[in-house]
Structure 1
Amino acid sequence: MTTNERDDLLESLATHRGFLLRTVEGLTDDQARQRTTVSELTLGGLIKHVANSERGWIDFILGGPATMETAEARYAEHADSFVLREDETLAGAIADYEEAAQRTDDLVRTLPDLGASQPLPKAPWFQPGAVRSARRVLIHIVAETAQHAGHADILRESIDGQKTMG
């Protein structure tokens, strides 16, 4: 069976999202907030962050660099995206992530041109004049989800020994 590029992207997203979500199965909110390594990362915070990051990159595909403002408030929002606060639940973070994922999947299916590009905003971490195609942004989302799924696997194993793979 052959697939097209969009099918490949959707399959990769689904695979890595599945690994990430599997790491939080059966956890309480307190466990999802627990720091299990020297890192500040928590499982609930990772779910929340990946949803926020995915949403931000999809906003960029649709709206360009203006969606990636670098004001101090944006930095605070980014830092908060790694924290499952006491007034938030793991179930709520998962629901938010699933909503963000559905929006991404819908865009992958319907965007007229995956090669459509937007200029990146001026920032020390982007080369001056750099642009990103929708395709490259989606590949970045796959990579970031996979990376954070690996982080989550380590955190979960530190809680109760459960491994996502292996």
Structure 2
Amino acid sequence: MNQLSTHPESPALVGERADLLEQLGKARFFLRFTAKELTDAQAAERSTVSELCVGGLVKHVTDVEQSWAGFILEGPSAMPDFTAMTEEDFAHRRDGFRLLPGETLAGVLDAYAEVARRTDDLVATLPDLDASHPLPKAPWFDGDVRWSARRVLLHIIAETAQHAGHADIIREALDGAKTMG
């Protein structure tokens, strides 16, 4: 069985796809490891001046990965229209960084595992990593830029690694545990 695959029947990946999945897997591991043995209350706690919490970061990374995987398949129509967002839309996005009442760390980790499985399957089966789409309109994207599937995957890896680092700082402030140090 390929260590990167969640399915025993999947062929072993080599080359660029294996490299992308290995790096994404490492970043995911650090994010999940940061949440290890936290209670739901700890996962929801803001332990620094930041608005972020470990559970909220897992939720956010899950949403980001799912949205960008949709972009690979469907283009900008899979993404929100950032230029037309209302205050209610922005409030909903802020909730994506929090573990809300009724949500559990186990639940957000399960959702993350499912999104990760689907992304891994996409990377393994996507016909062409060079296939591209125009980025959705958003104030933080420059003009009319296109991203290939490869570029999107690199963005997912960077986003996951960055937020794993955020989670590590939050976790250390919670109980002194260090996941990357």
Shorter-chain TM-score tier: over 0.9
Per-residue CA distance 1:46-66 (angstroms, 9 max, x = gap): 001000010011111111111
CA shift in 2, pair 1:116/1:97, >3 Å: same
Which of 33, 39, 52 pairs up with 1:22? Answer: 33
Code of the aligned partner of 1:39? S
Give the counterpart letter for 1:37 in structure 2: T
Code of the aligned partner of 1:106 = D
Deviation, structure 1 residue 74: 4.3
Give the match for residue 55 of structure 1.
66
Structure 2 residues not aligned, in runs of 5+: 1-13
Q: Please give the alpha-carbon distance, in whole angstroms, between the structure 2 residues aligned to 1:113 and 1:42.
A: 36
Counterpart of 2:136 in structure 1 is: 121
* Unaligned stretches of 5+ residues in structure 1: none
Question: What is the CA distance between 1:76 and its match in structure 2?
Answer: 3.4
Report the alpha carbon displacement of residue 79 of structure 1 after superposing the two structures with TM.
Answer: 1.5
Which letter does structure 2 place at the counterpart of 1:10?
L
Matched, 1:78 2:89: no
Which of 84, 107, 117 is the matching residue for 2:122?
107
Match of 1:40 in 2: 51
- Aligned residue identity for 1:148: H
Instruction: Tell me what 2:113 maps to.
Output: 98
Deviates more, 1:33-42 or 1:60-69: 60-69
- Deviations 1:93-128, CA, capped at 9 Å, x for gaps: 000000111111000000000000000122221111
Q: Does 1:6 align with 2:21?
A: no
CA distance in 2, matches of 1:88, 1:119: 34
Identical amino acids, percent of aligned pairs: 59
In the alignment, structure 1 residue 163 sits paired with structure 2 residue 178: yes
Q: CA separation of 1:66/1:141 partners in 2, compared to 1, >3 Å: closer, same or farther?
A: same
Identify if the C-alpha distance between structure 1 residues 138 and 74 changes in structure 2 by more than 3 Å, giving closer, same or farther.
Answer: farther
Partner of residue 150 from structure 1, selected from 154, 158, 165: 165
- SS of the aligned residue for 1:10 comes to helix
Distance 1:131 1:76 in 2: 28
How many residues get paired? 164
Q: CA RMSD in A?
A: 1.1
Cα deviation, residue 77, structure 1: 3.2
